[in-house]
Amino acid sequence: MKLDVNALRYLSKDDFRVLTAVEMGMRNHEIVPAELVDRIAGLKHGGTYKVLKNLLKHKLVHHDSSKYDGFRLTYLGYDFLAIKTLVNRGVFSAVGRQIGVGKESDIFEVATEDGTVLVMKLHRLGRVSFRAVKSKRDYLSHRSSYNWLYLSRLAALKEFAFMKALGEHEFPVPTAIDCNRHCVVMSLIQGYPLVQVKQLQNPDDVFETIIGLIVCLAEHGLIHCDFNEFNIMIDDNEKITMIDFPQMVSVSHRNAKMYFDRDIECVFKFFRKRFNLSYEEEREHDEGLVCDSGEDGGRLCFSSIEKSAGFLDKELAASGFTTKDQDDIQKYIEGEKENGGEDDDEDGDDEDGDDEDDAAAEEEDDDGPIGVQISSLKIADQPEESATSNIADE
Ligand code: ADP
Ligand code: MG
């Protein structure tokens, strides 16, 4: 999807006020009636209606009259709100090129005032298989109408909380810098995803480091669940950094062993195929994987890893990421896997006549990478915090 941040510079204080009002309205409304937007925004002389037109023009909101007349945020609108907040906080001041596009995220370089380049990850849960979420209404029924906002925000919060906690325990992860809405800002890792690397000086060492990391994580009570060559970065000195944490689970999860084995299996497979390593993994009945990794050639076996609650759990809760958040996002992720993406409905037919997934669908149209120039986001008309508004200060 396009992220033309230039428009950000021309949006006025009132534009942001109304955009925020739409966001607030979406906490309780699938479609926010214009009168409600107007009431929340509290602009004088019916100014809200004019502003809504401008927001529509920039595709920051979507006009929806399928059930009743109103507005809702688009991804772009949500992006702008998050970016604006982070720029106002001084986290970064410019957005650069897109460096990654995943199934459920868009990744950009951003730059701070002093020129340091960081990474901004915009989570987009629900973009690919919004219908799967719809079919899983039961567990998100109270949030069904705006679940892409909710889920994307949860994914970001979870990623930020895990990255921060892991970093504090000296795991090799990017430095977690800040988080707002569906957006996580982290340090830029100099290196490449392992999948792009054709040759290594010391494949054995790299392999052992990676397997060691998976075990060390489990000893801390966590399983990555997507530990593969796409989520391992490696630099010229063959130093490893792991990324991408929204799907992590605790070792107390009912499928923990399966996830752990799968992470290990993935690494074995990749190293065998790409670097011709001849490690053999054996399955010992129900004992998980056994291998010769580690300096001591020790046994690697999930059931021998203590199934403590994991002391990281507490720290994660302290960061605002609750058990309920974890449950919600886990149900979504597992629901996605069951659905296997077969619900991608490219033709846009909406059999139930409910077009609430337009926000996702309309932005699937142009998924190509974008080439935004580094654009300074110093906004001339910086909205000040309002004294009177119903809109909470950021
Ligand atoms: P997804 O959830 O979409 O898979 P990832 O977090 O795995 O997103 O990131 C996708 C790609 O973006 C990575 O494979 C990597 O190339 C790049 N990337 C992500 N985070 C960073 C970072 N901190 N530094 C450098 N590149 C990154
Ligand atoms: Mg990834």
pLDDT digits (tens, 9 = 90+) for 63-112: 998 888 999 999 999 999 999 999 999 999 999 999 988 778 999 999 99
According to CATH, the topology of domain 192-332 is Transferase(Phosphotransferase); domain 1 (1.10.510)
Q: Which long-range contacts (CB under 8 A, 24 or more apart) does 313-319 make?
A: 313/221, 313/250, 315/165, 315/168, 316/161, 316/162, 316/165, 319/157, 319/160, 319/161, 319/164, 319/165
Strand partners, 100: 107
Helices 47-57 and 13-25 cross at an angle (nearest 10°) of: 90
Using alpha carbons only, how large is the chain's radius of gyration in Å? 23
- Residue 280: predicted pLDDT: 65
Q: Which of 119, 148, 86, 161 is nearest to 379 (CA)?
A: 86
How confident is residue 338, by pLDDT bands cut at 50, 70 and 90? Answer: low
CB 92 within 8 A of CB 100: no
- Out of 12-16, 137-141, 287-291, 347-351, pick the least confident: 347-351
Is residue 217 predicted with pLDDT exceeding 50? yes
Does any ligand 1 atom lie closer than 6 A to the CB of residue 104? yes
- The pLDDT assigned to 109 comes to 96
Distance CA 9, CA 68 (A): 32
Contact assessment for residue 257 and residue 303, using Cβ atoms and an 8 Å cutoff: yes
Q: Does position 215 have pLDDT exceeding 80, yes or no?
A: yes
What confidence tens digit (pLDDT) does each residue in 113-169 have? Answer: 999 999 999 999 876 444 444 444 444 444 444 578 888 999 999 999 999 999 999
Residue identifier of the C-alpha nearest atom 13 of ligand 1 = 100
Q: What is the token pair recorded at 311?
A: 């002391």
Strand blocks (E) in 188-288: 192-193, 222-223, 232-234, 240-242, 249-250, 282-283
Query: In CATH, what number does 1-88 get?
Result: 1.10.10.10
Residues designated catalytic = 226
Helices H / strands E in the chain, number of each: 13, 15
Q: What pTM does this model have?
A: 0.80
For the chain, give every domain's residue range: 1-88, 192-332
223 lines ligand 1 (CB under 6 A): no
Strand pairing partners for 120?
108, 185
DSSP 295-335: TT-----GGGS-----THHHHHHHTT--HHHHHHHHHHHHH
Question: Rounded CA gap, 24 and 243, in Å?
Answer: 31
In 10 A of CB 47, how many CB atoms? 15
pLDDT interval class at 235 (50, 70, 90): very high
pLDDT at position 77, please?
95
Q: Which atom of ligand 1 is nearest to the CA of 107?
A: 12
Amino acid in the structure at residue 216: C
Higher pLDDT, 187 or 322: 187
pLDDT in tens, 7-53: 888 899 999 999 999 999 998 888 999 999 999 999 988 899 999 99
What residue's CA is closest to ligand 1, atom 26? 189
* Predicted local distance difference test score (pLDDT) of residue 371: 28
Provide mean pLDDT across the span 346-350: 33
pLDDT digits (tens, 9 = 90+) for 358-379: 333 333 333 333 223 334 554 4
Tell which wins on pLDDT, 318 or 272: 272
How much is the mean pLDDT over the chain?
Answer: 78
ipTM of the complex: 0.99
Ligand 1 site-directed mutation target among 97, 99, 151, most atoms within 8 Å of CB? 99
Residues for the chain: how many in total? Answer: 394
**Of residues 200 and 289, which shows the higher confidence score?**
200
Q: Which residues, chain by chain, have CB under 5 Å from ion ligand 2? A: 230-231, 244
Domains 1-88 and 192-332 share a fold: no
Indicate which residue's Cα is closest to atom 7 of ligand 1. Answer: 244
How many angstroms separate the alpha carbon of residue 27 from the centre of ligand 2?
29
What is the DSSP code string of 246-273? TT-EETTSTTHHHHHHHHHHHHHHHHHH
Tokens of 377: 């986001």
